[in-house]
Amino acid sequence: MISNNFEYHQVFTVAEAIALFHQLDQAGKAPIYYNGGTEIITMLRIHALYNETQAVINIKNIPECNVIGFHDDRFIIGGSITLANLEEREEFPLLRKNCGRIADHTSREKITIAGNICGSIQYKEAILPLLLTDATLLIASGSGMKEVPLQKIFDKRIHLDHGTFIVQIAINKSYLNLKFVSKKITKIGRIGYPVLTVNGLQTEEMMRFAFSGLCAFPFRSYTIEKILNNGADSFEETLHAVIHALPAPILNDAHGSSAYREFVLQYLLEESLAKLKVR
């Protein structure tokens, strides 16, 4: 049950959303954008947003946010496209496989791609394929819309300016059908928060890797990729170097201890490397 008193607004254009946000913000109502809404509803139910926001703006029905398909040489995904929709699409197999193992199907019908990658939940597994494919984001702000490389504004989380939101995501189609691996281990069952998720992509130049559940945030590390592409070392030496190069301590929580995650990392990396190339 949601007992918080807050205003609910629905908009149908980007310009309307931005203008309304600034109007509500100036009125001291600390508005937030509402897309799939699963995380916002959860936080409202537990009063985690109490005293933080008095208004939500539903942007889910903005046409530009619901686009999906090819435009020129890029695959465009609107920020309001759900994970269930992406699970059914064949254009981007790596993203499709990742989305199919995030939450349960009922939740995936509500969770949007922008909501997953911008939410406060630390795993954000849908962002891994986007990091590996140099995705760009179309961001709406008071000064208009602009494209920004995901890597430029992602550091442990996506850093968006106040009052802005993701309209679309673009991926060059040359990345879509490359050889990949997507491996996930959960504590119990097929669906759930990851003990560890590993995504790997084989480009012409090198293997790329991104991780969720290993540290307290998802990441792609160029240092780790360099280590994994160095075929001169034994796997044991490679694993030791990877662990030493992690951007933060290995996560230790209710889903898995740091020691268990290190064991899973060894298992998944060995499998991933075997699939992507012959060591």
Quick: pLDDT tens for 228-278.
998 778 999 999 999 999 999 999 998 899 999 999 999 999 999 999 974
pLDDT band at 169 (very low <50, low <70, confident <90, very high): very high
pLDDT band at 201 (very low <50, low <70, confident <90, very high): very high
Q: Does residue 51 carry a pLDDT above 70? A: no
Which class does domain 179-276 fall in? Answer: alpha beta
- 64-175 and 179-276 in the same fold: no
Cα→Cα distances 85→88, 92, 100, 244, Å: 5, 12, 10, 38
Q: Does residue 190 carry a pLDDT above 80? A: no
Cα→Cα distances 34→30, 72, 137, 178, Å: 13, 30, 18, 34
Against a cut of 0.95, is the pTM above it? Answer: no
Q: Summarize the confidence of residues 196-210 as an average pLDDT.
A: 96
Q: Which tens digits make up the pLDDT trace of 107-130?
A: 899 999 999 999 888 999 999 999
Give domain limits for the chain: 7-58, 64-175, 179-276
Pairwise CA distance, residues 236 & 86, whole Å:
37
64-175: CATH number: 3.30.465.10
Within 137-192, residue ranges assigned H as helices are 150-153
